[in-house]
Amino acid sequence: MLETTERKKQKTQLNNRLVMSASEVLRDYRLAVESRQTSLIGRREVLSGKAKFGIFGDGKEVAQIAMARAFRRGDYRTGYYRDQTFLFAIGATTIQQFFAQLYAHADIVAEPNSGGRQMNSHFATRLLNDDGTWRDQTQLYNSAADLSPTASQMPRLVGLGYASRLYRELDSLKHLTQFSRNGDEVAFGTIGNASTAEGHFWEAVNAIGVLRVPVVLSIWDDEYGISVPNVYQLTKGNLSEILAGFQRRSETTGGYEIFTVKGWDYVALVETYARAAELARTEHVPSIIHVIEMTQPQGHSTSGSHERYKSPERLAWEQEYDCLRKMREWIIDQHIAPPGELDNLERNAEKLVENFRVKAWQAFARPIYDERQDVAALMKEVEEAGERGSRGAGEQEAIAERPAWVAEVAAVRQRLLAKEAPLRRDVLMAVREVLVATRGAGAVAGEPIGRLLAWKNAQEATNEERYGSHLVSNSAESALHVTEVKPVYAPDARLVPGAQVLNAAFEAMLARDPRVVAFGEDVGFLGGVNQTYAGLQKKYGELRVSDTGIREATIVGQAIGLALRGLRPIAEIQYLDYLLYGLQILSDDLASLHWRTRGGQKAPVIISTRGHRLEGIWHAGSPMAALINLLRGMHICVPRDMTQAAGFYNTLLLGDGPGLVVEVLNGYRLKEQMPSNIGEITVPLGVPEVLRPGDDITLVTYGASCRVGLDAAEALAGVGVDVEVIDVQTLLPFDRHGRILESLKKTGRIVFLDEDMPGGTTAYMMQQVIEAQGGYDWLDSPPRTIAARPHRPAYGTDGAYFSKPNVEGVFAVLYDIMNETNPGRFPAFL
């Protein structure tokens, strides 16, 4: 195929850039050596007890420097926890910050990746300003926050790359210049060879190929997964051979460019990364770079030694083909620098890294030492107060009458001061020991004990912020600040199926905000299995309303990547039961993202799904207890109808945090009035709604169970029981202002109802009201829960009836409570 003049020009420019000066080569080697020293010294710090655990990037240095040379401002990395050399090379983290993370320094200035919340080598650049607003990503070297579960970095690679395609091809996004320069950004993914056995890897590789997005995916292949060699990980033990089917056959067909290159071949690595990045950047063709013959000089981590499972021959080979050794040999062979100069460079690198380590340790330890000294001084004051109190009978009797706790406090103080490397835990444990020892001593040492207690309370508040802040966004754009806008109905408002209400809402969202994109299985051409997107692909195009393959994990990942790059994805998982396919990514990545970066990153993803009240084992489940426990950090909205669902989508789009909306399956066909302000309705989060006021008993529920509860309440009204039915509306957050408690204060009796398993979400709601809100003090009867049977719903109408809560069952439980309260007025049924 003849090349165009423009393509020839690009190749010429690329070849010119590949010509490296001696100073550039030596700079790269120096950086590689510094990174290696960081790994060696880091391991020493763990084994000496100063750090808890260590995992390092030794053996991967040269390949990562080559990747860094191809990485530009605006590009994104989603990677593997051995990428330290790459992060050093692009300047996204420093050696001192690396050690700060190794020590778990809970200070965002010292450790900007996570503020000490993630173990070492888990990197993240800060995409947000202190107020939670976006920084200009085109001016940054960007890295999505790492996570430990193997291959979990792959699903979001789909979205990080796909965003460039949307920014290039959608004119409506051209104004978002802080996120893209016409889609020229490349998403770089990195993964270890053993992790490619995970399903996330293959699902992501397939989705990237289907979407044809600018991705450069690197596989660091050192032939082991901890102790397990490739022969047990991969068919034929050869990734390049397995991946060959993804190779594109011409410049017009889909697929990947696939490169295999040795991890110690500096020149070949630089050339390979430059060509792969240029192809992705200019033509949006993805590449896979399989980097083979890599080594891991210190083994997998500080948890063990690779000498236990590698043969002497393998260990000898790793020494010979260590990438630093081979690069050094090449530098000498090419007469770039003599051995003596390299020796000096290596000695200086070791001194430099050790200097950074010392600075990081001092910065970490000094505040804790200061806190220890403050506490020791307060303890000394307590001791002295006890001494003074014992001297009232005279000097001779002082020792005999000294309170026993004085010696106990002195012993605690001395033990605390003797610790060479104290932690905050040690300080607070010592405080607790002193407070226990001095209980009842207030008459003698009340004032210093009070100061010690005040110090403890202040520290606990500080540490709550230090380790627990940013679970959800509390910025000015947080969805928690969105106020209610109620539906408005015209006098002649039409009664339409709920699906049409939601369809109108989605159309309004797409019309008002060009950042909104919706995708999922059958969402595009068909308009959704329930027609909530009917006609919207035709109106807004295939890039904004899209079909996907059956790939829930990467549907979630696609949404995360897009949201990280400033877009507002609505990702549909067809049924609530199928959310389980993507639950690991939702939990380990999306829900924890804002927290684990201590407010440095956010991904305002909306996950849309549907469940409840259908028949069958895998279309009518209710794993809500699993969701509310695994998705802390997300908002979970459980609308009872489609108007309320539309309000939740609008609320979440006005916010800057992730959310899940669970639509009710049988709500699509039920008729609702069409609001005239469907695009403006908002429902506040964490604010329950009283659906039916009552004075006798409070029934707390949500979603599809609201209809069951209301029908049961009407039936109970016929026998004189006045039930107050409350829709919690959201499970996360839950009743932020204590409205359910106010109802309980009035009725004195409460029941929690839903379709989850016994001990599931009903137990969660009970804990929130009875324990967290203090509802226990207002109970006149024991609280009760009504849940589904402890099995999946059976098929058929009767199967569902005998599997899930029904009106008769709710009636029986509430009436039984009233019978216990007043058997004369509410006699038992015979």
Q: What are 150-175's pLDDT values in tens digits? A: 999 999 999 999 999 999 999 999 99
CA distance 43 to 52: 10
Residue 587, SS3 per DSSP = helix
Give the contacts of 526 (CB within 8 A, at least 6 positions apart).
547
Those residues with Cβ within 8 angstroms of residue 199's Cβ, 6 or more apart along the chain or in another chain:
151, 553
Q: Which residues contact 357 (CB under 8 A, 6 or more apart)?
A: 41, 45, 95, 96, 99
Position 616 scores a pLDDT of: 82
Share of the chain above pLDDT 70, in %: 96
Asked if residues 683 and 729 have their Cβ atoms less than 8 Å apart, the reply is yes
Distance CA 59, CA 52 (A): 22
Active-site pick, 300, 619, 635, 737: 619
The Cα–Cα gap between 335 and 199 comes to 47
Residue 9 reports pLDDT greater than 80: no
Q: Give yes or no for residue 536 having a pLDDT over 60.
A: yes
Average pLDDT over residues 334-359: 97
Q: What are the backbone angles phi and psi of residue 727, rounded to the nearest 5°?
A: -95, 120
pLDDT score, position 613: 75
Supply φ then ψ for residue 776, to 5 degrees.
Answer: -55, -40
Q: How confident is the model at residue 303, as a pLDDT?
A: 85
User: How many CB atoms are closer than 10 A to CB 280?
Assistant: 27
Q: Are 63 and 220 in contact (CB under 8 A)?
A: yes
Q: Could you tell me which of 313, 420, 322, 434 has the C-alpha nearest to residue 380?
A: 434
What percent of the chain lies above the pLDDT cut of 90? Answer: 90
Taking 80 as the threshold, does the pLDDT of residue 435 lie above it?
Answer: yes
Average pLDDT, the chain: 94
Predicted confidence at residue 2, as pLDDT, reads 44
Query: pLDDT digits over 540-554, tens only?
Result: 999 999 999 999 999
Q: What angle do CA 708, 711, 715 make, to 5 degrees?
A: 135
| Model pLDDT, residue 621 | 82
- Which residue, among 404, 395, 394, has the nearest Cα to 441 in the 3D structure? 404
Catalytic residue flag (residue 791): no
In angstroms, rounded to a whole number, what is the distance separating the alpha carbons of residues 566 and 823? Answer: 61
Residue 17 in this model has a pLDDT that exceeds 80:
no
pLDDT for residue 768 is more than 70:
yes
Classify strands 689-692 and 723-727 as parallel, antiparallel or unpaired. Answer: antiparallel
Q: How far, in Å, CA of 449 to CA of 460, rounded?
A: 17
d(CA 148, CA 687) in angstroms, rounded, equals 35
Q: Is residue 395 pLDDT above 70, yes or no?
A: no
What size, in residues, is the chain? 830
Query: Dihedral of CA 221/222/223/226: which sign?
Result: negative
Q: What is the pLDDT of residues 299-327, one digit of tens each?
A: 888 888 899 999 999 999 999 999 999 99
pLDDT tops 90 at residue 252: no
Enter the tokens of residue 802: 């005998």
Q: Give the integer Cα–Cα distance in Å for 279 and 282.
A: 6
Residue closest to 98 by CA, chosen among 353, 403, 381: 353
CB atoms within 10 A of CB 392: 9
In this model, does residue 571 exceed pLDDT 70? yes
Place of tokens 């600040």: 481
H/E run at residue 9: helix 5-17
Six token digits for residue 316:
């000898």
Whether residue 5 is predicted with pLDDT greater than 90 in this model: the reply is: no
State yes or no: cis peptide before 214, omega within 30 of 0: no
Q: Say what the pLDDT of residue 12 is.
A: 57
Mean pLDDT of 278-304: 94
- Dist. CA 511–CA 365, nearest whole Å: 54
pLDDT of residue 1: 36
**Residue 85: per-residue pLDDT:** 98
What's the pLDDT tens digit per position in 716-761? 999 999 999 999 999 999 999 999 999 999 999 999 999 999 999 9
Residues 68-77 as b or e (16 or more Cβ within 10 Å = b)? bbbbeebbbb
Would you say the pTM of this structure is higher than 0.85? Answer: yes
C-alpha distance from residue 551 to each of 204, 521, 555 (Å)? 9, 8, 6
Name the nearest CA neighbour of 219 among 242, 236, 248, 251: 242
